[in-house]
Every structure is written in C-alpha cells, then in structure tokens.
Amino acid sequence: MGNDQVSSRWPAVEYEERPWSVREAYSSRTQLRKHSGPYRAAVLPSIAEISVPLPVDLLTEVEEAGRGLARFDAHVSSELGCELGPMSAILLRTESAASSQIENLTVGAKQLALAELGEHANRNAVIVTGNVRSMEAAVDLSRAVDGQTLLAMHRELLAESDPEHAGRWREEQVWIGGRDIGPHLAEFVPPHHARVPAAIDDLIGFVRRDDIPALAHIAIAHAQFETIHPFTDGNGRTGRALVHAMLSGKGLTQHVTVPISAGLLVRTNRYFDALTRYRAGDVEAIVRQFVDATFYAIDSGSKLVAQLRAVRESYREKTSARSDSVVWRIIDALVAQPVVNTAFVTGKFDISGVAAQRAIDRLVDSGVLRDASKRSRNRVWQADEILGVLDDFAGGIRRVRG
C-alpha cells in the first residue's frame, strides 16, 4: 500500500429506500404512523479488493498483538503437554460463554457443565452450549472459510434453540434497536435480505486475501459480517466464531481458543460503538478494539490457565490411589468438565458403572468432589474449586466493566 492509499477513508455504508407494510396491529395510532411508509436499509460497499487504511502506529500494535497470540498458543501447548486437551476445552467454553454474555446471555460455570452432561440446566446454558458447538465447528472448518463454513457455524449454534432458522441466510428484513413493529426508528438497519448472498460473497473475497496484517484482517472481516447481519438471530456469536476460524486458519492459534470475547466484553459499549463507526467509514476503531481485547485475552487467559493448573495439582496432592487408577484421569478431566455423573465417567474412560462409582467415591473422600445432587438417583458431583475459578474469571470481567 502506498501512502496515498493509507490516507484514504474506508467506504461508509449507504442507504436505500424500501417499502414497508406494518405487521403489528396492536399498537397505538402514533406508533403506526411512525412505522408506516418506506424505510432506509443499508447498502454495503464492496470491500473484497480495496486497500486498508491504517496508521503505522496501529499497524505496529496489530503485529505485536498477533505475535502475542501465537506465543500464548505455543506457551500453553508446550507447558501443559498432556493436560492440553482439558485446558483447551475449558478455554473454548470460556470464550463461548463470554461471547454469549456480550448478547446478555449469562450463565454460571455449573449450569454450563450440567448442560454439557445433558442434565437439567437453564435455557441460557443450553444456548451457550450451542455456542460452544459453533466455536468447535469454526476451528474444525478454519482451513477454508466460505459461505458454507458460516452456515455450518450458525447451524451448530441454533440447532437446538431455533432449528427452523439454523444454518439458513435470513429471508426477511432485520434491524438493531428500535421497536418490533418496524425498522423505521432502529439504530441500524442491515441490508435487505435480497442483498445478503452477494454481500457474503464479497466478504469471503475479502477473507481470502493475504495482504493484510492478520488481526486487522480479522477485525474488519468481523465488522463487515456484523454489518451484513446475514441471519435472523445469532449474528454476534457467529461473527465471533468467524474470528476464531480466521485465527486458526492464519496459524495464530493452533492449540487453544484465546478468550478474545472476554476482552471485548470488558468494554462492550466501545465494541458496539466501534461497529457503528465502522459503518460510518472509520475502520480504525474496530481494529483498535481487537488489539486491546487480544492483550486482555492473553493476560487473563494466562492467569486462568495457571489457576486451573494449580487447582489440578492440589487435587492430585490430596488424593491417594494406585498409579494406574482412573481417578488421576478423572482429575485431569475435571478441568474441562467440573460437574460429572457416573454416565460421564463410564463413557469417557470406558469402565463399568461400579468402577466409575468407586472412583467418584474416592474423589469425594479426598475432598476433590462433592455430591451436589441431594437425591438418591441421577446423582451429580462437582469440583467446587474449579467452578470457583471459572466463576471468578467471569466475575473479574464484570468488575473491570464496572
């Protein structure tokens, strides 16, 4: 990019008038008047081939943040070795929970663990579990991000909560803010649904470029996706899953999911403001948000891994069993699944129900697990210290936000 290109502005969203028929009859005449007649929907500029105007100082930080991500991924992988599987799983779930919390879908660590077991859990936990599946799909499909990849992520996200719309581009107008009666007073009206396929094709053209620094490339692709808003629901969570697909595809994260959404959650208002500014032609704000979120994610993620590893070691120190006992493998698994039942233990470790119960009882006696079910059948046991670390992590984000 030449200096003349760097100084150019990012193209702003334009608007077109679209006809509207009021759908909601149960409203006042005043509201009906406000939401009658044509409305203005966004028309997105093509970004597949335009240059990216970012100042040198921000580009320097982008590169630094990218190197930090790669170092974090390599460090966690080399330090944890055989422990990486459970730790990678819990980092992914932590990121999924943070991404969902941006959409005001809050869930505690215990409820999320219960949902993973298929036990009774609240509605938010079931929805966040869908986000975990979406993140997993994002990483699995990261080598070839295209329209089908996005649909697959969305399908995993909403397969249980909204199967009718899961994995399908929207076929209706949506809007952000305002009233349900119509888009006229909305904060932002994404493109008409007829424009979605072409907009996605243009986005994929942008995603496939290799001439943009990685984290800036990812931030802009995310902002463009959110501006298209191609689904009836789940756009934010799918768009953040796209972030992890691109991070993995670019080789910045190969072993773990870095909790970048936790960094965005710390300053949610700034994140949403950056998306608004992006639509007005300011590309720097969203890149800045991703840089800051990345540094927060690296720091907080490192602390979370260290705390969970310390708890795991304390569990091993206070437990007595033969060296080949399954209890040691259960302790490792508790990092990722801090609430267990006999079905989980028998299925994961391919042992009998009797052997599973014997191992659980040994961990109860050592103080690792506690019977949390208060019932004689369908019992569950939980690792309180691990649940405490995970809930403290979420609480720490809320304290920073405050």
Hey, is 368 helix, strand or coil? coil
Residue % of the chain over a pLDDT of 90 = 73
Residues 6+ apart with CB under 8 A from 396: 300
Q: What is the pLDDT at residue 5?
A: 39
Q: What's 3-303's CATH class?
A: mainly alpha
pTM of the model: 0.90
Amino acid type, 338: P
291-347 residue pLDDT tens: 999 999 999 999 999 999 999 999 999 999 999 999 999 999 999 999 999 999 999
- Looking at the domain that runs over 319-401, which CATH code has it been given? 1.10.10.10
Residues 6+ apart with CB under 8 A from 303: none
Asked if 135 contacts 92 with a C-beta cutoff of 8 angstroms, the reply is yes
162-175 residue pLDDT tens: 999 999 999 999 99
Q: What is the pLDDT at residue 82?
A: 60
| Orientation angle between helical segments 84-102 and 326-334, nearest 10 degrees | 30
Name the pLDDT band for 8 (thresholds 50, 70, 90). very low
Q: What is the pLDDT at residue 395?
A: 83
Hey, is 154 helix, strand or coil? helix
Strands (E), 4-107: 14-18, 39-43
Instruction: Please state the rounded mean pLDDT for residues 214-224.
Output: 98
Domain ranges of the chain: 3-303, 319-401
Q: What is the pLDDT at residue 229?
A: 98
Instruction: Please state the rounded mean pLDDT for residues 223-238.
Output: 97
CA distance 49 to 328: 54
CA distance 299 to 294: 9
Mean pLDDT, the chain, integer: 91
Name the pLDDT band for 88 (thresholds 50, 70, 90). confident
Amino acid type, 109: A
Hey, is 87 helix, strand or coil? helix
Q: Is the pLDDT of residue 370 over 90?
A: yes
Q: What is the pLDDT at residue 4?
A: 38
